Amino acid sequence: MKSIFKSGLFITLILSFTLSIAQSIKPLNVGDKVPDIYFATMLNHTSTNGKLSDFNGKAIIIDVWFKECIPCVSNMRHLDSLQSEYANDLKILPVTWQSKEEIERFWRTNLNVTGIKLTQSVNDKLVRKIFPAVSFPHQIWIDKNGTIVAITDGKNTSRENVKKLIENKSLTLAEKKDELDASVRYAHNPDLTIRYEENKNKLLYYSYFSSWRSELAGMSRSNVDKATGRVRITANNLSLVYLYDFAYTNNSYQTRHDPTRVIRRDHNPVKSWLEGTFDTTRLFCYDLIYKGTTTKGFSKYMIADLDRAFGVKSHEIIMDIPCYVICMKGGGTKFRQAIVSEGEAQIKNPSMKKDVVLVVNKKTVSAVERAINQYGKDLVLFEMGDEKIINFQVKWNTDDLSFMNKELEKFDLKIEKTTRKRKVIILEDA
């Protein structure tokens, strides 16, 4: 009984000490020594808790993530392969603030990560204070001497860089520095801020257009400030197609498919969308404020501004667009049966890579249509009547629709190549 009391007292002291650190700690930077961080809840470790010193003698990559983060999840299998390859010299440590229960369930049921057994920390309250971030994954690279040598966004975990970390060789990785001020990052104030509060009631019309700005989040929104009687439309760090689609949404309620939403007949060299690569020259920021009481009708202002900025004349027409249609076959309803009954709603292979299995589990039809058309080169439409939820899996290869239909038939579904009338934005030289 005496030894049990001492053990309990020791744990209490550790937790109290950790809490005091969490409340007073200052963020660490590249070049700083890392303290012996205490992890209160760990999975796949020698104990249910642990410390950074448990991995002494190894280089460490702390990977701060959360289960809804698509880039975080898609990188886990690569991290697991690096951990296996350099097991004697490297510890890759995923850390999340999410609870033990939801993370255990995630690793058990998510189709992208099943079988991975990385040591990790959950329910974190300390690491995010030491290494604050708002975009993820957020990686901290620590050499064998306990010094931070890099803070990155997860795009640098190549074998070459990891080997340099292990061998204490020089690393020249661009440092990830998030804008932590939410009012700046999410543009809570208009992009034009000089004496705005003093003069906002005099404002009749204002629009702003710029190239990519790293401090702003990529997003779009519209709202009405009833106190001042002003409408504000914001669309930051978005592509030409996204901007025009957003501008025309007063008249077009359909799933956006970048390759077919805008048809270019102009000579402006600006590319329409990202096409799988993060190219900041293809992203723009737009801000609009005008006097009004409703967001209806903002299109006429935004379209005129975009046309002027890109030197084009736009209009919208209805055209027959080639597409693939997935619909019900016969009267069966096997598509209602979940692929992973315990798993969450999810999509595997939303970019529809050829000869890779597309898996849909417990997703709404509209969400699946939006997701795969956001990433895929082919327009795919779902015509499912009043059905709300869909489940299926099929190896994606539109060059062999016969094979795809054999697989989809197991879910009482079929796919066909056809055309559908779609609203299309035409851009012509002004």
**pLDDT tens digits, 244-264:** 999 998 655 688 999 999 999
Across the range 385-396, mean pLDDT stands at 97
Asked if residue 79 has pLDDT above 50, the reply is yes
Q: Domain ends where: 253, 280, 309? A: 309
Q: Is residue 9 part of a domain?
A: no
Same domain, yes or no: 28 and 161: yes
3-state class (DSSP) for residue 199: helix
Same domain for 121 and 46: yes
Where among 262, 278, 309 does a domain terminate?
309
Distances (CA, A) of 161 to 43, 170, 173, 314: 26, 9, 9, 47
pLDDT tens profile 137-160: 999 999 999 999 999 999 999 999
Please say if the pLDDT value at position 1 is more than 60. no
Does residue 376 lie within any of the structural domains? yes
In this model, does residue 99 exceed pLDDT 90? yes
CATH number, domain with residue 88: 3.40.30.10
Instruction: For residue 100, name the pLDDT band (cuts at 50, 70, 90).
Output: very high
Residue listed under structure tokens 């190894």: 58
Inside any domain, residue 11? no
Domain span including residue 192: 182-309
Q: What is the pLDDT of residue 125?
A: 93
Confidence of residue 8 (pLDDT cuts 50, 70, 90): very low
Same domain, yes or no: 201 and 279: yes
Which tens digit of pLDDT belongs to each residue from 268-298?
Answer: 999 999 887 789 999 999 999 999 999 999 9
Please check whether residues 30 and 153 belong to one and the same domain: yes
Give 20's pLDDT tier (boundaries 50, 70, 90): very low
Q: Which two tokens stand for residue 244?
A: 């025009």
The total domain count for the chain is 3
Report the pLDDT averaged over residues 186-207: 85
Say if residue 58 is in the same domain as residue 141: yes
Cβ neighbours of residue 176 under 8 Å, at least 6 residues apart? Answer: 133, 135, 138, 139, 151, 152, 153
Q: What is the DSSP string of 106-135?
A: HHHH-TTTTT----EE-S-SSHHHHS--SS
| 334: three-class secondary structure by DSSP | helix
